[in-house]
Amino acid sequence: MKQIAATAAAFGLVAALATPVLAQDMSANIKARQGQFRILALNLGVLGGMAKGELTYDAAGAQAAADSIVGVSMVHQPTLFVEGTDDMSVDGTRALPAIWENPDDFAAKWAALGEAAKGMQAAAGTSAEAIGAAMGPLGGACKSCHETYRTP
Amino acid sequence: MRSLALMGLTALAIVGAAGLYITRPQTVDSATFAALTPDPVHGAQVFTASGCASCHMAEGSKTPLVLSGGQRLASPFGTFVVPNISSDPEEGIGGWTLEQFASAVTKGTSPEGQHYYPAFPYAAYQKMTDQDVADLWAYMQTLPADPTPSQPHEVGFPFNIRAALGGWKMLFTPKDWVMPADTPQLERGRYLVEAQAHCGECHTPRNALGGLQRDAWLSGAPDPSGRGKVPDITPATLGWSMGDIAYYLESGFTPDYDSAGGHMAHVVENMAQLPASDREAIAAYLLALPN
């Protein structure tokens, strides 16, 4: 009996020690993934602004923005979306548990972003109109993932 | 004494019966609809603007025109399971008449003469023109049949008493417009927002009985699922220009290039198919809202 209590206490101690460390690790992962979406948004802002005529079209600037989006799309997502970082488990995220229930579909949707990003990469240097046309598939990739895997 | 009690009971029964009579399920006027010539091509546009597929397709479906139902809509009153409204004559609505369809869409009354729950947004659809309803019906009959049976709603007592919905409808589904509209563009925007796209169903807060608070129109509400919030889209809070709103409805991108998620992603897919002038009309309507 005493031994069981001691074991339980030991487990409790391990859990108590482990939890903060784990939480810290996860917050880094969450920050990183939120950061990558900010990088996407900023670069989409450059491209969208040019497509809408709010910014003067500049081929080099557009290309750099599109290349950055492709770069982010190549980041390995499972490193960022680690188990236990859904919105039911931790605060400060809108990632739904469904991500971890359907890892293959989540990966496929991220891959679709990569495809749309390559389309933008090919279009960005040519004209503002071409950027406008490539925004559609990019927006579609964002939506199709957010629809299922992010809280409103 | 006993006769007094009996009289009381009788009076109560009469009041109850009168109440049920007054709040009984309503149907449309058949002569009105019989006189219309439905246009299924225009009906496709009504279908898109009204967002029918967003709720009536299967969850995560890749074929949104198969209206097999099955999506689960959580609410404080229980979970509503969206029914099959495909053209299947047994499990869907293929066997209905135009009159039955119009009564369902604009009065919230089933062909069996029961009240539908207001998860079905007839509070908005009742403001549609008869012609649009007839066109919608003509179009929906051209969509594929699906044999998936509709599932019962998971709604507990007392909300499972459908007769009570008659009173609810009288209290909370006034047919008049929420907003004035003094230009053709605002009128068009109002028609899209208030009658078809039923934006208020999620973006307007509800009272304790689930009635929309029209004095807080489109000022945001808790997500009915209990998680997250549906944003306030009145102009001062939203802070978007006309171009921002129209572009969001076309592309799903906010001015900060975040993108629409959840059910709004479906809404954007629908709005993107409308003419640009319709998205601008919606933007104009939203920008004219009081703060």
Give the number of beta-carbon pairs within 8 Å between A and B.
65
| Euclidean distance between CA atoms B192 and B190, whole angstroms | 5
From residue B287, give the alpha-carbon distance in Å to each of A50, B151, B205, B276: 25, 40, 19, 17
Which of A147, A148, A150 is the mutation pick for testing B, counting most B CBs within 10 A? A147
Taking residues A72-85, report their average pLDDT.
Answer: 96
Average pLDDT over residues A119-132: 97
Alpha helices of chain A — where are they, by DSSP H?
2-52, 59-73, 98-101, 103-124, 128-149
Q: What is the pLDDT of residue B227?
A: 76
Among candidates A37, A148, A152 on the partner chain, residue whose Cβ is nearest the Cβ of B230: A152
Tell me which of B40 and B3 has the higher pLDDT: B40
> Strand, coil or helix: what is B230?
strand
Name the pLDDT band for A13 (thresholds 50, 70, 90): very low
Q: What is the tens place of the pLDDT at every residue in A18-50?
A: 444 444 568 999 999 999 999 999 999 999 999
Given a cut of 60, whether residue A15 has pLDDT beyond it is no
Task: Report the mean per-residue pLDDT for chain B.
Answer: 94
Residue with the two structure tokens 């010539």:
B37
Which one, of B107, B134, B145, B126, lies nearest residue B42 by Cα? B134
Cβ pair B228:A151 closer than 8 A: yes
Predicted local confidence at residue A24, as pLDDT: 52
Record: contact A143-B261, CB cut-off 8 A: yes
pLDDT tens digits, one per residue of B260-279: 888 899 999 999 999 999 99
The pTM for the full model equals 0.86
Which of A46, A47, A146 is most worth mutating to test chain B (most B CB atoms within 10 A of its CB)? A146
Q: Can you name the residues that pair with A150 across neighbouring β-strands?
A: A95
Task: Using a CB–CB cutoff of 8 Å, tell me whether A31 touches chain B.
Answer: no
Of B223, B253, B268, the CB nearest to A48: B253
Interface pTM, i.e. ipTM: 0.75
Torsion of CA A49, A50, A51, A57, to 10 degrees: 170
Inter-chain CB proximity A45 and B261 less than 8 Å: no
Q: Position B138: which residue type?
A: A
Interchain proximity B260–A146, CB inside 8 Å: yes
